[in-house]
Structure 1
Amino acid sequence: MTDWAWDYNPSQEYVIDGLPVGVVAEVERLATELPALGDEATRVGRPIDREGGLREFDILGGRGFICFLAVPRHTCVYVCNVTWYG
């Protein structure tokens, strides 16, 4: 278990406002699991050829994706954007 946490960046309203409840639940489920990886969260998702920076992860079978930023010095994963194709 790590001491990492997660949060929305810049705000919860900006990132998930207007999304269906099921999509929000999936985003928050993933956001809860990513901090458990600790420093490894900088390596999961796309792009696969480098670590750090803004990362992407498909959600709900490719019907959308989340963008997140894992910041080791803050020990936090920030969910920055959610794209939902519906």
Structure 2
Amino acid sequence: MNNWGYAFEPADLCTGLPVGAVAEVERLAAELAALGADADTVGRPEDRVGGLRQFTLFEGRGFFSYLVDRHHEDIVIVQVVWFG
């Protein structure tokens, strides 16, 4: 799994986010893609594997939600939330 992408247009998911936050989402998505199938075990919830996962940004200033698409071997970013 070396691919990642947004489920929707990046402009729709990242509107109003600082440039640094978008860069951090993309950096972390690339690292998750490099993990491959193990990306299902990273982030929250910690008590189960698979499904919708969340990864915290900048020590709680935001988070993004993602899915591991094993069929297409992709990480799909479905939501980005920024608290500022």
- TM-score category, normalised to shorter length: over 0.9
Correspondence 1:69 to 2:42: no
Contact 2:2 2:30 in 1 (8 A): no
Match of 1:46 among 39, 44, 48: 44
Unaligned runs of 5+ in 2: none
So what's the TM-score if we normalise by structure 2? 0.93
One-letter amino acid of the structure 2 residue matched with residue 85 of structure 1: F
Per-residue CA deviations over 1:63-86 (Å, capped at 9, x if unaligned) read 111101111111000011111110
- Matched residue SS, 1:73: coil
- Matched residue SS, 2:39: helix
Contact 2:13 2:79 in 1 (8 A): yes
Q: Distance in 2 between matches of 1:16 and 1:62?
A: 17
Match of 2:27 in 1: 29
Q: Distance in 1 between matches of 2:50 and 2:68?
A: 7
Q: Distance in 2 between matches of 1:62 and 1:17?
A: 19
So what's the TM-score if we normalise by structure 1? 0.91
Q: Distance in 1 between matches of 2:82 and 2:51?
A: 21
Unaligned runs of 5+ in 1: none
Cα root mean square deviation, aligned: 1.0
Q: How many residues align?
A: 84
